[in-house]
Chain A
Amino acid sequence: MIQVEPNGVAALLRLEGNLVASVAEALRPALQGLVEEGVRTLIVDLARAEFVDSMGIGLLVAAHNTLEPAGGALVVVNVRPEVVRLLQTMRLDRHFSVRPAVPGKDAGGGE
């Protein structure tokens, strides 16, 4: 679920489903581990997330709070329109980068 780029400063996290409390709880220590290993740019792929709950938002903000002071950045990519709307309405897109899913490219498939 978590892939670390070879140079170690960037990591790609691809969520297999919705970003909800249970997932957030499991991810928190894992993400902290990455930061401790030197990851500074965390890319979270939300292609499969149909919704994000309050805890999910908490996790994203916590990641942002951790990375930004360290000179890094949180980027959420492939964000579905509903989730984009949520993050925009909460004005979270002013704090970290929210990149909507590109219409036409399907969510996960590379082949």
Chain B
Amino acid sequence: MSDQGDDILQLYSAESLDHLADIERDLLEIEAAGAGADGELVNKVFRAAHSIKGGAGFLGLSVVSALAHRLENVLGLVRSRELVPTADVVGLLLQGFDRLRAFMLDLGASNDADVAELVVALDSLTTVVLPPDRRETVATRLQVFADPRGPSFTVSEFELAQARKGGRLLYLLDYDLIHDIHRRGRRPLDVLGELEGGGVIVDCRLDLAAAGTLAAPHLPTRLPLLVLYATVIEPDIAPDVFDLPPERVHRIGPEGLRPLAAGGAPPAPPPPPPPPPAAKASASPRSETSLRVSVGLLDTLMDLAGELVLSRNQLLQALVGTQGRVPEAVAQRIDGITSRLQEAIMLTRMQPVGQLFQKFPRLVRDLARSLGKEVELVLEGAEVELDKTILEGLSDPLTHLVRNAVDHGIEAPDLRRAAGKPAQGRVLLRAHHEGGHVHLEVADDGRGIDPDQIAAAAVAKGLLSPDQAQALSASDKTALILLPGFSTATRVTDVSGRGVGMDVVKTNLDKLGGSVAIASRPGAGSTIRVKLPLTLAIIPSHLVTAGGQPFAIPQVNLDELLRIPAAAVAQQVERVGDAEVVRLRGQLLPLVRLADVLGLTPRFRDGVTGAEHRDQRRAVADRRSRRSNAEGIPEPSPAAPEEPLRSGQERRHGAVHVVVASAGAFRYGLVVDELLDAEEIVVKPLGRQLKHLACYAGTTVMGDGRVALILDLPGIAREARLSSVEETPRAAEVAREACPEGGESLLVFHSGRAERLAIPLDLVVRIERVTADAIRRVGGRPVLPYHGGTLPLLTVHEVAPVPPVDEARELVVLVVSLPGRQVGLLANAPVDAYREQAAIDRATLAGPGVAGSILLDGAPVLVVDVTAIARRCYPEWYPLAPGDGQPSSFQKGDQTR
């Protein structure tokens, strides 16, 4: 019996939690609408309180019932528009529903809880709007007598009085669902809806016994439904209006209402309920141990479990018949079912991120109120699903980010107005799928983050030397707030307001396999982007081969796949310096051959014979075989493999396969031998012996049993020396995590006081602050003693018509990597990094040493062509055609951008 009692309690609590699920959102919406609140919405909340009260009364949960009753009263007043749902009223309602929700998680303790204060507050809310003589009605309960059959309903006098407002008369309607509704081709909800439209349904009761049991030979012939109804309709026309015979429309006058038992105790029913079993494992009260799963999915699971049982039986039988040998068909079947079962079980773990989002409207509201700010929270993508574990782990960091946005991001209303912004701030919380990952964004339109203050704080904390800080771009400085120890050590809350505990956020997200990036514009707001895997252990990947071996590329790093047909290779692949680039929608991407980086011999598959051959092309764009290529007919592969390539000797064969990879701040093309399928892979960590290999992120076992290494695309970029930011491991990490959204990354510097110039950020290795007397002259040209050697210095004004560098002002040298050598570009500070969506205009302002121009902050800025300048200043570096320099780090060249 107690078992069953427990079941019923559990059912009640689950059901009540369902009712409570949306309440917070609804109440906030009601608050926002104020006096104009949507009646149906108020009604919905009202009904929820009503349902909870009803069940609680039934189960003897007196405290729950009393509290729900008070909430219902207040909502009743809101519904009848006697009480405006101000922030205070809604605040109290929210508190009340909070308590109810807490009770639902531990019903056993609810009867001992003290809600007196809240009850008094809610009662006073009710009584304030009531004239003094009606105040005690809140506690009085009346029985309704319509005929000699005895009391038909028990309702609170207050509720009844509410219903009878505006001269409404009270009726007891005696419907029969079968005769009066079904037989007339109507539906119950239509009838009840009409009633609700013309009055107030105070209570309702269906004669359950009339429905009989399932064992009855046929459907019931009558189903009486009693409705206690208040309306302005006069008694003479009531039967017609209600479509009922007159004898079943009872007018309830004062004589039909009698107080419940003399001295009837108001809402607290004295009989103590059977206490539910006490030994409830005291799980932390907030963490839910149950999981909501769609019934369709459960069906699938049940089907699969059934099939598994059948297969087991088959297996057992087969084992008997075949002396222990398992027939292949049975093994296959069990195999198939197992994987489908696994998939289905994985799916049960997927939960909508809306579960997490729903607490934020309240959080933002409360926080904004306590800070005296006005904040609108916009939620997008609540339906996006994530693994439950990730979702739970996300709660704290996301709360932190939202809190930060309201607390430190959004300014006080007067400050906002002074800055020409609307007084109400806006926080956007958005989730969306992209490339097999879930992206979460917390964006605010507040004051933004001042990169220099962050950098200064990082220097003050000794996390960074002043020189290092100097070299960082604005976005890198902003990203410093993610540095471990940035904020926890001494809590520099005044840094710019941000960054409190951001490293903790980052650590938490790291554990979930996520990454964080920050974009901010001082004065305009900040956006924190979080990228998360759907689940932890299984990631979507794309399989490729290089040198005859399979590799997996996580789709998180993969932008697109390119197949350049043989005939188009020569056109689309170009050489810049000694490196290759591919032209992709007007952008040039550096190419890296996976086989080269890993020290494998590239192979290709003969399109006709299917045989594998060693690929001898030293460069993708090798044009030696162009003539034969044009026909697309492979010619037989000649030449000993060891022999250096000679022009015209070989070549032909197939298309070039490129994986366009995003590796932190930039993209590149990874040339592979073959593109295979996309596959979900299970990630296995690398063994200790292989841990130090930067090119690999892990391993996986493929469907055919072979082991494939999972590539670390940023690692490969570093290995191929594509990356430009390489001075500190931290800088590398900043670069890796900056995951921007395409567009141009530019470094802006000055020549003279006012002239701003830009170069592609990727070209710049370092920025050195120098003084004029450190610059020497060798052979009439300026050089800088640098790392034990000399760095040739170039200036833009030597070649391009721009104001000269002012040596009296602060000087910087941008160390730029050119094929085979480094050069310094002498310029004036300040230096800043930009990321622009706009493209470089290569026509209008192009000229000597100038590749084009780009609009930054509304003004055109010249984009410098370093290679062209170097060519002018040091023609001896470029004796012949470009491209036969010694191997060097990749150079993206002027026209890369």
Contacts and interface: CB of A to CB of B under 8 A. Distances in A.
B300 to A, nearest CB: 5
A78 B15 CA distance: 11
Chain A's interface size range is 35 or more
A31 B214 contact: yes
A90 B225 contact: yes
Contacts of B8: 73
Most chain B CB atoms below 10 A, which of A47, A62, A86, A92: A62
A90 B209 CA distance: 15
Nearest to B54: A94
B189 A86 contact: yes
A110 B298 contact: yes
Interface in B193-220: 196, 201, 203-206, 208-209, 211-216, 218-220
Contact of B19 (A3, A89, A100): A100
Contacts of B192: 86, 89-90
Nearest to B58: A94
Interface string B286-319: 0000001011111110100110000000000000
A110 B22 contact: no
B7 A57 contact: no
Interface string B358-391: 0000000000000000000000001100000000
A54 B223 contact: yes
B50 interface: yes
Interface in B150-204: 177-178, 181-182, 187-189, 192, 196, 201, 203-204
Given A61-B206, A62-B213, A90 B15 contact: no
A47 B295 contact: yes
Contact of A85 (B182, B189, B216, B382): B189
Contacts of A85: 47, 189
A45 B14 CA distance: 16
A66 B213 contact: yes
Interface size band for B: 35 or more
Contact of A91 (B205, B209, B352): B205
A13 B609 CA distance: 58
A102 B382 contact: no
Interface in B19-56: 19, 21-22, 47, 50-51, 54-55
B4 interface: yes
A100 B26 CA distance: 15
A5 B344 CA distance: 17
Given A53-B187, A75-B11, A62 B299 contact: no
A66 B7 CA distance: 18
Nearest to B184: A54
B51 A88 contact: yes
Contacts of B21: 102
B294 A55 contact: no
Contact of A35 (B18, B50, B196, B214): B214
B11 A97 contact: yes
A91 B19 CA distance: 15
A13 B172 CA distance: 36
B296 A6 contact: no
Given A62-B211, A73-B11, A109 B296 contact: yes
A25 interface: yes
A59 B354 contact: no
A57 B50 contact: no
Contacts of B352: 104-105
A66 B213 CA distance: 5
A47 B22 CA distance: 18
B209 A51 contact: no
Contacts of B204: 89-91
B347 interface: yes
Contacts of B55: 93-94
Nearest to A100: B18
Interface string B260-299: 0000000000000000000000000000000010111111
Interface string A46-71: 01000111110111011111100001
Which of B7, B223, B294 has the largest count of A CB atoms less than 10 A from its CB?
A: B294
Given A54-B187, A90-B204, A105-B292, A99 B14 contact: yes
B296 A65 contact: no
Given A62-B211, A105-B352, A28 B219 contact: yes
A111 B385 CA distance: 12
A90 B206 contact: yes
B12 interface: yes
Name the residue in B4, B213, B214, B292 with the highest tally of chain A Cβ atoms < 10 Å from its Cβ: B214
Given A78-B295, A91-B54, A65 B213 contact: yes
Contact of A54 (B177, B203, B306): B177
Contact of B4 (A6, A71, A100, A109): A71
B223 A58 contact: yes
Contacts of A64: 208
A51 to B, nearest CB: 6
A69 B600 CA distance: 75
Contacts of A6: 305-306
Nearest to B203: A91
A1 B296 CA distance: 12
Contact of B299 (A14, A90, A102): A14
A10 B834 CA distance: 63
B766 to A, nearest CB: 50
A85 B483 CA distance: 53
Nearest to A4: B302
Nearest to A72: B4
B188 A57 contact: yes
A97 B22 CA distance: 18
Contacts of A77: 295
Contacts of B215: 32, 35, 66
A71 B323 CA distance: 48
Contact of B47 (A32, A51, A88): A88
A63 B219 contact: no
A38 B269 CA distance: 36
Interface string B130-149: 00000000000000000000
Interface of A: 3, 5-6, 12, 14, 21, 24-25, 28, 31-32, 35, 45, 47, 51-55, 57-59, 61-66, 71, 73, 75, 77-78, 82-83, 85-86, 88-95, 97-100, 102-106, 108-111
Given A31-B214, A51-B189, 10 more contacts: A3-B302, A14-B299, A25-B218, A54-B223, A66-B213, A73-B8, A89-B47, A102-B21, A104-B352, A111-B347
11 contacts: A24-B219, A45-B295, A47-B295, A53-B187, A54-B187, A57-B211, A59-B219, A93-B55, A97-B14, A99-B15, A111-B296
